[in-house]
Amino acid sequence: MVTYPRIHFGMEKLYNFIDGKLVEPGKSNYLPNINPAEGVAYNLVPDSDAQDVAEAVKAARFAFASWSAMPLDQRAAILSKIADLIDRDLDQLALAESIDQGKPFKLAKSMDIPRASANMRFYATASMHFASESHHMEGEAVNYTTRTPIGVAGCISPWNLPLYLFTWKIAPALAAGCTVVAKPSELTPMTAFLFSKLCIEAGLPNGVLNIVHGLGHKVGQAIVEHPDVLVISFTGGTVTGKTIAATAAPMFKKLSLELGGKNPNIIFADCDFEQALNTSIQSSFSNQGEICLCGSRILVERSIYEKFVDEFVKRTKELVVGDPLEDKTRVGALVSEAHMKKVLSYIDLAKTEGGKILCGGKRITMSGRCEQGYFVEPTVIIDLDQYCRTNQEEIFGPVVTIMPFDKEEEAIAYANSNAYGLSATIWTENLKRAHRVSHQVKSGIIWVNCWLLRDLRTPFGGMKQSGVGREGGWEAIRFFTETKNVCIKF
Ligand code: NAD
């Protein structure tokens, strides 16, 4: 068990990071920041507004000329230094993430924080290798293409993987030479606040990265609306994505939207059963099911359906739900009371739609310091139709449905019978089938016989209502650049 640092995390105030300084919001308004495992406020987040965003954009605009002109190796060295400092503070950041978000400390330490430093280091080095194309028209002309940083970028991130996704956006933006105004989720501001201190320590020049904390409809909206923020990278819910797109489109801003998912996990009878089972437990309940890539609809070929359901329920019941700071905990607290209520309301909906709850289904009341925390039992539901709301809408919690299918075409049709198209997992030992099904499932990311195996060079993002554009690799750096072709006649 990790010692809970009450002294460090008393009702301290967090600050915005504007023009290289940690500052109060202009109107000195704050919001309580809740520790979801305890259900109590433990520090105060700036309740910033459009004026704070305007200050941040002004600083970012001013910093752009020198940052975009800085030699690549110097820019890369600063970003790498930030990665080193994240590694140095691994324990502190993992603890902060666990307390702020409700996720197990062990998960934050093994996944979230290492990935945040990997994001910074990956794009620090990528910036040194970035190149643009040239096209020769034999004997006639040469075209060369330049890709120059756009200017001030707005980066808005969600609460489920706070520092992981925050850095996934700002690292390519900074590497491309943009300056940034960023907003983490108001529900999980802590590691972004600690990150701003690391940026100061690493010597990031003033104004290059600005972090404005606060509510989405105030701070987020103000970033999207600001005429000097030319490019927006957003990760969050599909409904918010629509609002952002509606605001940004008339201003012709460049947009990357990484949105919700309702991912199918397709299990064929010829799979490696043990691997499919073990990984499906992870893909269902890791981070309390609060990962956009979690497989929430498990489709199982009928000949192994009963066996799979029995084993899956048995292993689900063995998952230890509890204090995120304890070593044995596999499933922590949901991020907020409102989100817990939403998840529980979907379990009620599933019952009214005819679903049978095989395990879980209820809030858990812990004893001790977590007695008011937002814990929900990992829940497995069967007997639901593909088209019911439970199987169509994103729940984003520790809730999965399992459904049988008879034929490959049926599995593909079920997988595609949804407005979302973020990721899918396919379990089969038949190589031809793996290719066939991967090709036909309409999702931006397909994992065959694995889940969440990430190579940061690959394009990342969803189809349909799961988003617009791709992050990762060169795609992300290119996104933050403006393209120009120069054609020179011989
Ligand atoms: P959300 O849409 O409520 O909030 C995301 C961010 O947007 C927050 O910082 C929020 O303050 C801000 N925001 C809210 N309203 C805004 C507005 N009008 N203008 C600008 N910004 C605004 O999402 P959430 O509840 O924080 O996160 C959960 C959602 O994120 C889920 O739907 C999940 O699937 C999705 N998600 C997607 C990916 C992906 O890569 N596709 C990754 C993680 C999470």
> Does 155 qualify as catalytic in the annotation?
no
- Residue among 112, 155, 185, 215 whose CB has most ligand 1 atoms within 8 A, to mutate: 185
**Of these residues, 258, 301, 377, 394, which one is catalytic?**
258
Q: Rounded to the nearest whole angstrom, what is the distance from the C-alpha of residue 157 to the centroid of ligand 1? A: 6
Among candidate residues 308, 305, 395, 397, the one with its CA nearest the CA of residue 353: 395
**163 and 191 in contact (C-beta within 8 Å)?**
yes
Is 442 inside any structural domain? yes
Supply the residue whose CA is at minimum distance from atom 35 of ligand 1.
236
340 and 403 belong to one structural domain: yes
In angstroms, what is the span from residue 236 Cα to ligand 1's centroid? 2
Cα 98 to ligand 1 centroid, rounded to whole Å = 19
Q: Is 311 a catalytic residue?
A: no
Say whether both 269 and 226 belong to one domain: no
CA nearest ligand 1 atom 9, residue: 185
Ligand 1 pocket member 154 (CB < 6 A): no
* CB of 287 shorter than 6 A to ligand 1: no
Tell how far the Cα of 417 is from the centroid of ligand 1, in angstroms: 24
Kindly state whether residues 310 and 335 are assigned to the same domain: yes
Instruction: Round to whole Å and give the CA distance between 452 and 77.
Output: 29
Together in a domain, 429 and 477: no
Residue 414: inside a domain: yes
- Distance from the CA of 361 to the center of ligand 1, in angstroms? 25
In 3D space, the residue among 298, 274, 299 whose CA is nearest the CA of residue 284 turns out to be 298
DSSP code per residue over 88-130: HTHHHHHHHHHHHH---HHHIIIIIHHHHHHHHHHHHHHHHH-
pLDDT of the chain, 490 residues: tens digit per residue = 555 444 344 579 999 999 999 999 999 999 999 999 999 999 999 999 999 999 999 999 999 999 999 999 999 999 999 999 999 999 999 999 999 999 999 999 999 999 999 999 999 999 999 999 999 999 999 999 999 999 999 999 999 999 999 999 999 999 999 999 999 999 999 999 999 999 999 999 999 999 999 999 999 999 999 999 999 999 999 999 999 999 999 999 999 999 999 999 999 999 999 999 999 999 999 999 999 999 999 999 999 999 999 999 999 999 999 999 999 999 999 999 999 999 999 999 999 999 999 999 999 999 999 999 999 999 999 999 999 999 999 999 999 999 999 999 999 999 999 999 999 999 999 999 999 999 999 999 999 999 999 999 999 999 999 999 999 999 999 999 999 999 999 9
Would you say residue 173 lies in a domain?
yes
Q: Can you tell me which atom of ligand 1 is nearest the CA of 186?
A: 11
pLDDT of residue 11: 79
Confirm whether 432 is domain-assigned. yes
Tell me if 292 CB under 6 Å of ligand 1.
Answer: yes
Distance separating alpha carbons of residues 86 and 430, to the nearest angstrom: 42
Same domain, residue pair 480 and 411: no
Q: Is 471 in the pocket of ligand 1 (CB under 6 A)?
A: no
Residue 10 domain-assigned (yes or no):
no
Tally the domains of the chain.
Answer: 2
Instruction: Give nearest CA residue, ligand 1 atom 20.
Output: 220
Residue 372: inside a domain, yes or no?
yes
Q: Which residue among 157, 217, 235 has the greatest number of ligand 1 atoms within 8 angstroms of its CB, and so is best to mutate?
A: 235
Among protein residues, the one whose CA lies closest to atom 6 of ligand 1: 158
Residue closest via CA to ligand 1's atom 37 equals 259
C-beta 159 within 6 A of ligand 1: yes
CATH number for the domain spanning 366: value is 3.40.309.10
Distance 241 CA to ligand 1 centre (A): 8
Q: Which of 178, 292, 294, 370 is catalytic?
A: 292
**Are 16 and 24 within 8 A, CB to CB?**
yes
Residue 462 near ligand 1, beta carbon < 6 Å: yes
385 in the same domain as 244: no
360 shares a domain with 226: no
The answer to whether 331 and 378 have CB atoms below 8 angstroms apart is: yes
CA–CA separation, 399 vs 295, rounded Å? 10
The Cα 300–Cα 106 span in angstroms is 31
User: Do 288 and 376 reside in the same domain of the chain?
Assistant: yes
Examine the domain organization and report whether 284 and 410 are in the same domain: yes
- Residue nearest atom 21 of ligand 1, based on CA coordinates: 220
Clarify whether residues 291 and 208 are in a common domain.
no
> Residue 485: how many CB atoms within 10 A of its CB?
12
pLDDT for position 461 = 98
Asked if the structure places residue 5 within a domain, the reply is no
Ligand 1 near 264 CB (within 6 A):
no
Best mutation site among 31, 53, 156 for ligand 1, i.e. most ligand atoms within 8 A of its Cβ? Answer: 156
Residue 488 corresponds to which tokens in the numbers above? Answer: 């020179």
Q: Are residues 226 and 273 in the same domain?
A: no
Q: Is the CB of 350 under 6 A from ligand 1?
A: no
Residue range of the domain that includes 236: 16-259+466-487
CATH code assigned at 198: 3.40.605.10
Q: Are residues 354 and 252 in the same domain?
A: no
Q: Is 16 a pocket residue for ligand 1 (Cβ < 6 Å)?
A: no
Instruction: Identify whether 2 is part of a domain.
Output: no
